[in-house]
Amino acid sequence: MCDTLVALGNSTKDGSVIFAKNSDRDPNEAHELVIVPRTRHPEGSLLRCTYVEISQVPETYAVLLAKPFWIWGAEMGANEHGVVIGNEAVFTKIPPGKEPGMIGMDLLRLALERADTARNAVTVITQLLEQYGQSGNCGFAHKFYYHNSYLIADPQEAWVLETADRHWAAEQVKDIRTISNRITIGNKFDLASNGLVDYAIERGWCKSRDDFDFGHCYNDFILTRFSDSYKRYCRTTDILSAGRGNIGVETMISVLRDHGPENTNQYSPGRGLSGADVCKHASFGPIRIDQSTGSMISHLKPGMHTHWLTGTSAPCTGVFKPAWLDSELPDIDPAPQGKYDDQSLWWRHEVLHRTVLQDYQMRLNKYKDERDQLEKDFLHEAQQVMSASCEERQAFTARCFEKAGQATEQWIEQVRDLPIRGGQPILHRRAWQSFNQQADFQRYLA
């Protein structure tokens, strides 16, 4: 389960477009950051996606991807033209295909590689969707099948694209917009697939075009309800609405770390067997078996696109760091896998994250203020280097990743020294014992 949001220039404090997303996946489904350069391809060449092979285009754009390590596609990413996309799992009355095929994350990457505007990305995805459909397992630790929705933006505009099998509708964003794990487009949209309304009428989901509502007709009631997507959709919309005209990168960081309107000092990741917040934490299943495994914010100005990445799970425990697509990411190899690796950025942060989970409030409060100040420094300094050379910005990115890594190691030692007050609910403890055993991780929580 995920949440994606955008604010256009008429709603941000500096007139830019700002995009943000949390990627919610299995707890051990490590999140990888990758930059793929612009590439020319031989005529007639083929491209292998996660499961299927398709024709390659003559040239693909440079892309920054934030992705599950085992999938060719991505949950979120950006390209050299400032097109950014995030996807959501949606559950519809049309059963998702289980045979290996084109998955929604592959469609996202293909659009980034082939589209130079948000509107063109809508065209790329819908044409591929109508040609190949969407099907195949999208889960790492367990089988998971779904259809997809997308929030697509560039420095000028944004679109919401929501799908049900090969059917789809698209809506141009006017100011702020968020999506979650449900079809949110109703009876007003700007583009749609042929037969979208007729298909619903034939199945008795509505009587005519006049009473057609995409979400009402196509959403699967049970899975959509248990995803808690409506609560999260309302929460992200309310926060952006309240900040309209003054939304900045800091706003989006706060939203991606949000645990709901309740007193944050009382929040506990181990509380409850159901429900989901924007910053999601895994617990006892089957409803709470995924969590926020990576986060991305894109600050889009014409000619300057700054991306803020955690590259780690649980944004409430991690650090957002800047990157630019015309330079390189720092050396964060090796690419993470589904088992603990002390050389991996993602897994080294898991030591901090999973240690904090043992007594969330006390341990997070130990370093939260220092973390927030570090991010403020990064945000301030990023403004100073935006007009600098590619090499200077690349060096700045490397310094930010290095500082965040050093701080993470210090915070691990600080929180480990704290006593654990009381205890987490037994089912929550058992769930994390299982996650840790599966990742060969248990011995690193001493």
Q: Could you give the CA distance from residue 307 to residue 323 in angstroms, rounded to a whole number?
A: 5
Helices (H), 227-332: 229-242, 249-256
Assess whether 316 carries a catalytic annotation. Answer: no
Q: Could you give the CA distance from residue 85 to residue 278 in angstroms, rounded to a whole number?
A: 18
* Structural tokens at position 257: 């770390």
Q: Is 19 helix (H, G, I), strand (E, B) or coil?
A: strand
How is 306-372 classified by DSSP, letter by letter?
A: EEEE--SS-TTTS--EEE-TTS-----PSPP-SS--TT-HHHHHHHHHHHHGGGHHHHHHHHHHHHH
Give how far Cα 430 sits from Cα of 36, 232, 424, 427, Å: 39, 26, 10, 5
Q: Could you give the CA distance from residue 208 to residue 198 in angstroms, rounded to a whole number?
A: 8
Give residue 154's Cα distance to chain centre.
17
CA angle 324, 27, 67 (to 5 degrees): 30
Element (H, E) at 275: none
Closest by CA to 150, choosing from 171, 175, 128, is 171
What crossing angle do the helices spanning 360-385 and 390-416 adopt, rounded to 10°?
170
Q: Of 2, 138, 217, 400, which residue is the catalytic one?
A: 2
Q: Is 155 helix (H, G, I), strand (E, B) or coil?
A: coil
- Can you name the residues that pair with 25 across neighbouring β-strands? 291
Q: Could you give the CA distance from residue 140 to residue 222 in angstroms, rounded to a whole number?
A: 23
* Structural tokens at position 213: 């509502």
Backbone angles phi, psi at 39, to 5 degrees: -140, 140
Distance separating the N- and C-terminal Cα atoms of the chain:
30
Q: Could you give the CA distance from residue 208 to residue 184 in angstroms, rounded to a whole number?
A: 20
Q: How do strand 291-301 and strand 17-25 relate by DSSP bridges? A: antiparallel
**How many residues are present in the chain?**
446
Residues acting as catalytic residues: 2
